[in-house]
Structure 1
Amino acid sequence: MSFARVRALVVVGMLAVVALVFVVVALVKDTQGNAGSAQGCPEDWPRADVTLRERKDVRIKVLNATDRPGLAASVGDEFRNRDFQVQKEGNQKKQVDDVAVLRYGPKGVGSAHLLRAYFLNAAAYEYDATREDDVVDVILGNGFRQLATTTEVNQSLGDLGSPVAPPMTCPMPVED
């Protein structure tokens, strides 16, 4: 074996040892081992369910906050066709200028995150810490035109990233 080949093997071996040391140090000194759990949270803060739900597990109410008659019913049907559980359709007297408003509580954080993708991240959030159910109110506003296609939803979810617990809440511990 030539000297150049031995020298190359020694250099590669040293790089492998250094990489192994870095990995071990990173794992031992990891300060984010409890990230995503509620450890260290104040007791009085609500626990937010930040699990990204499947469509079939998301329960919604569709409300029309525009002067367009029948909008809640037609959008509710679109959501049903996409496997969402539509609990109720109706009208809201106060008009909304936004595309949509998503109103939800701590148990609906992951569901609201998914629904935001159907409005291409243009829906406003209204978080209510006192709300007890996992239903998300979808309030359609004057800026609403149509729901996103499946491809657009997938791209939007990629842009949005993972659901995040709202301020003054803690994420629920992840169940294994």
Structure 2
Amino acid sequence: MSFARVRALVVVGLLAVLAVIFVAVAVVRDSQGDAGAAKGCPDGWPLADVTLRETKDVKINVLNATDEAGRAASVADDFRNRKFQVKKVGNAPKGVDEVAVLRYGPKGVGSAHLLRAYFLDNAKTDYDPKRTDDTVDVVLGDAFQQLATTTEVNQSLGDLGSPIAPPGSCPAPVKE
């Protein structure tokens, strides 16, 4: 083996060892390991569950705020077919001009984020920091026509990004 080859192998080996040391130091000294956790959260602020849920884990109540009878039952069936857990179906006070209103508390932030995609981010959100359950109320408004298709939901989720904690709340530590 020539001297030039030996020298090249030594240089490449030295660079590989330096790269491993650099990566190890970066991982050990990572100061963002608890990013998004509730550290520094003011006292009394609720912890918002910002985990994006699968449809099978989302609990909803479907309420009709339109003049069309049976709309809530029809949409509830659509949600059941998409594997949502529909808890209640009923009526809400009339006068909702939007597509829908999503009412939820700190435990329903991730679920409401997913539901926003089913309305192509045209649903109004109504966050209540005092609400203690993880159920989202879906109040259908006069502008509602139909739920989005699977492809539209996936595209909308991409546009929406990750769930974020609403103002006046802190993101809960992620469960692994």
The two structures have a TM-score, normalised by structure 1, of 0.85
State the partner residue of 1:67.
Answer: 67
State the partner residue of 2:128.
Answer: 128
State the partner residue of 1:157.
Answer: 157
TM superposition shift of 1:93: 1.8
2:76 aligned with 1:50, yes or no? no
State the partner residue of 1:107.
Answer: 107
TM superposition shift of 1:150: 0.4
TM superposition shift of 1:23: 6.4
- Kindly provide the amino acid, as one letter, of the partner of residue 82 in structure 1: R
TM superposition shift of 1:68: 1.0
Count of matched residue pairs: 176
State the partner residue of 1:8.
Answer: none
> C-alpha distance in 2, partners of 1:16/1:45?
48
State the partner residue of 2:117.
Answer: 117
> C-alpha distance in 1, partners of 2:57/2:27?
35
1:110-132 per-residue CA deviation (whole Å, 9 max, x = no partner) reads: 00000000000111110000001
TM superposition shift of 1:26: 6.4
- Using the TM superposition, name which of 89-98 and 117-126 deviates more: 89-98
Q: Is the 8 A contact 2:105 2:132 kept in 1?
A: yes
State the partner residue of 2:93.
Answer: 93
State the partner residue of 1:9.
Answer: none
What stretches of structure 1 move > 6 A for 4+ residues in a row? 15-26
State the partner residue of 2:4.
Answer: none
**Can you give the 5+ residue segments of structure 1 that lack an aligned partner in the other structure?**
1-11
> C-alpha distance in 2, partners of 1:140/1:16?
60
TM superposition shift of 1:43: 2.5
1:16-59 per-residue CA deviation (whole Å, 9 max, x = no partner) reads: 99988986786577553321211111121100001111101100
**SS of the residue aligned with 1:52?**
coil
TM superposition shift of 1:174: 1.0
